[in-house]
Amino acid sequence: MNQATSPEQQKKHERNTFIFLAVFLAPILSVIIVAGFGFAVWISQIFLGPPSA
């Protein structure tokens, strides 16, 4: 942070950043990663067949 910012402003910025990461970014990334993996498995089974085949 810049030296001109007060500790209160820095705490507010850190709190807002944490809330953004914890409430928005982490769940969205989790859904994207799981959906991407599921899509990759689905596509591979279309071309290669089910695992028992």
| pLDDT tier for residue 35 given thresholds of 50, 70 and 90 | very high
Provide the H-helix boundaries in 5-53.
Answer: 7-19, 26-48
- Residue 43 sits at the vertex; the CA angle it makes with 41 and 45, to the nearest 5 degrees, is 70
43-53 pLDDT per residue, tens: 999 999 988 86
φ, ψ of residue 12 in degrees (nearest 5): -65, -45
Question: Any idea what DSSP says for residue 2?
Answer: -
* pTM to 2 decimal places: 0.71
| pLDDT tier for residue 3 given thresholds of 50, 70 and 90 | low
